Amino acid sequence: MENVLTVPAERLHRQLTTVFTTWGMDPGHADTAATIMVDTDLSGVDSHGVGMLPFYQIAVREGRLDPRASPTIGNDRGPAALIDAHHCIGHVAAHLANTTAIAKAKEHGIGVTAVTNSTHYGAAGWYARQAAEHGLIGISLTNSPPLLVPVRGKDPALGTNPIAFSAPTRDKARPVLLDMATTAVAYGKVSIARRAGKPIPEGWALTPEGTPETDSAAAAIARRLSPLGGTRKLGGHKGYGLALMVEILCATLTGARMAENETGHFFLAIDPAAFRTAEAFEEDLEELTARMRGIAPIDPAQPVLIPGDPEHDETVRRREGGIPMVPTLVEEVRGVCLESGAEFILDLKRDMR
């Protein structure tokens, strides 16, 4: 672990905004995207934070991501609105859409916004959590490039199409926060097993013939993930169905065509106070989560968790101790800086000169 660089959140934020503004991004947009990515790294979701930067640079280079673009609000009707991202970085379009949904929920009790012509927006959970921080229930969905193989099929046809849900609790720093791929696992878990040279469990991935793949190296090349539930017998048709639901709400509703490299997002915010008092909601949620935590555990050392617990705990740890970055990732960020002409500032020694 000695080669792992531990980077304070503030420095990572500065590194990201430096790159983004060098790309020509508006400083406000750069700050938004960097904040979302750093929060994601803080929460331990390493696959969706700075780790995505090299892929964003490829998208910029290939013209799929326009760092100078700004999202616009199009069709706006009471509690609903459609946002056009104009291929800006997904985080900025998603942030506009989510804050719009939040404002609409405060006015109408519910707000729904969807985004077309977008790109990768980072971790779905960030936006759901933002709604919870405003005292609202939040839902955040996005589609993504094909990896999920529908039940009975041999080829991938839908993305890992995540579902994120958050609900506000009395402790504002610890909302209920579910953020899940609709595949059994995200592709990152296959990559991790491949790097470790370990097999993967039956139920994660498939061969090109549609049989279970347990060789992580072969699975990483085949890029065919099983839907949540795995086989038909264990509920794989449900994971496929959920991924299709996400595709309809993110792509069909908005006109974003994944086949043409267009990503769509969907955001919903609900004000509990539209139904009964916010206090009654929080009191009952407190009771519900306490009931879950109180279930007799199989292993007393492993109590039942509430979705979001591991991410909240990791955020506390990393805010204190910094964000660990493996050497490969540090070198990838250095490469991004070299290509774009941005200053590389992740390395601690440079700070101390």
Q: Looking at beta carbons only, is 33 or 242 nearer to a second copy?
A: 242
Question: Least distance from C-beta 191 to a second copy, angstroms?
Answer: 17
> What 3-state class would DSSP assign to 350?
helix
Question: Least distance from C-beta 66 to a second copy, angstroms?
Answer: 22
Contacts with a second copy in 26-65 (CB under 8 A)? none
Contacts with 25 (C-beta within 8 Å, 6 or more apart), sequence order: 33, 67, 68, 89
Contacts with 246 (C-beta within 8 Å, 6 or more apart), sequence order: 141, 142, 143, 158, 159, 161, 162, 163, 182, 266
Stretches 24-32, 65-73, 154-162, 340-348: which one binds a second copy (CB under 8 A)? 154-162
Q: Which phi and psi (to 5°) does residue 295 adopt?
A: -65, 140
CA–CA separation, 150 vs 232, rounded Å?
A: 10
Question: Least distance from C-beta 219 to a second copy, angstroms?
Answer: 15
* Residue from 255, 316, 321, 328 in contact with a second copy (CB under 8 A): 255
Return the residue matching tokens 């109590």: 303
Single-letter residue type at 216? S
Q: Looking at beta carbons only, is 32 or 43 nearer to a second copy?
A: 43
CA distances from 149 to 2, 164, 189, 223, 234 (A): 39, 21, 17, 9, 15
* Residue from 1, 3, 63, 77 in contact with a second copy (CB under 8 A): 77
* Residue from 54, 109, 188, 212 in contact with a second copy (CB under 8 A): 109
* Residue from 10, 279, 284, 331 in contact with a second copy (CB under 8 A): 284
How crowded is residue 75: how many other Cβ atoms within 10 Å of its Cβ?
A: 10
Stretches 223-231, 320-328, 330-338, 345-353: which one binds a second copy (CB under 8 A)? 223-231
Question: Least distance from C-beta 137 to a second copy, angstroms?
Answer: 7
Assess 196 for contact with a second copy (CB under 8 A).
Answer: no
